[in-house]
């Protein structure tokens, strides 16, 4: 009858089963599950979800992730809750980051002073690269 797949069993066999909230409701003939057509909203690319969670674990704040990825900080908070991600507590180190293109990244690694004295991670960020560096807080 319809081209929709059942979200529970993936069967293509469904019958119409009323209208709820202005949307057509269907009943799967295979498993009996009731479902509606998907919302026609904007869905976030899984790449951004994974990247946001990686940055969160690395110690980047919600607002900084929002600025870097262009995704709401509230969405990032919801993903952290949804996937149960816990960032380790950081008291002695803090992350700093730079956004570099491929040429700038190569130049960065040519200077030995840039590599010494801190932990570092490089991750892809669209067509550029993000370099995250951890530096020890200086005690006064």
| Dist CA 96 CA 133 (whole Å) | 5
Looking at per-residue pLDDT, the higher value among 9 and 95 belongs to: 9
Domains of the chain, by residue range, sit at 1-41, 42-89, 92-139
Q: What sign for the dihedral angle of Cα 139, 62, 84, 122?
A: negative
Size (the chain), residues: 140
Predicted confidence band of residue 94 (pLDDT cuts 50, 70, 90)? low
| Dist CA 140 CA 132 (whole Å) | 24
Q: What is the pLDDT of residue 41?
A: 59
Least confident of 27-31, 50-54, 56-60, 79-83: 56-60
Q: What is the pLDDT of residue 1?
A: 43
Query: Tokens in use for 62?
Result: 């919600």
């Amino acid at each position: 009858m319809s081209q929709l797949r059942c979200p529970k069993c993936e069967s293509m066999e469904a019958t119409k089963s009323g209208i709820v909230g202005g949307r057509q409701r269907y009943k799967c003939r295979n498993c009996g599950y009731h479902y509606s057509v998907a919302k026609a909203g904007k869905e976030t690319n899984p790449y951004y979800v994974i990247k946001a969670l990686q940055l969160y674990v690395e110690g980047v704040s919600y607002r900084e992730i929002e600025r870097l990825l262009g995704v709401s900080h509230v969405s990032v908070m919801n993903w952290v809750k949804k996937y149960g991600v816990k960032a380790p507590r950081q008291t002695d180190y803090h992350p700093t980051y730079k956004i570099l293109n491929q040429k700038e990244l190569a130049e960065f690694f040519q200077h030995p002073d840039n590599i010494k004295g801190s932990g570092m991670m490089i991750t892809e960020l669209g067509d550029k690269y993000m370099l995250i560096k951890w530096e020890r807080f200086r005690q006064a």
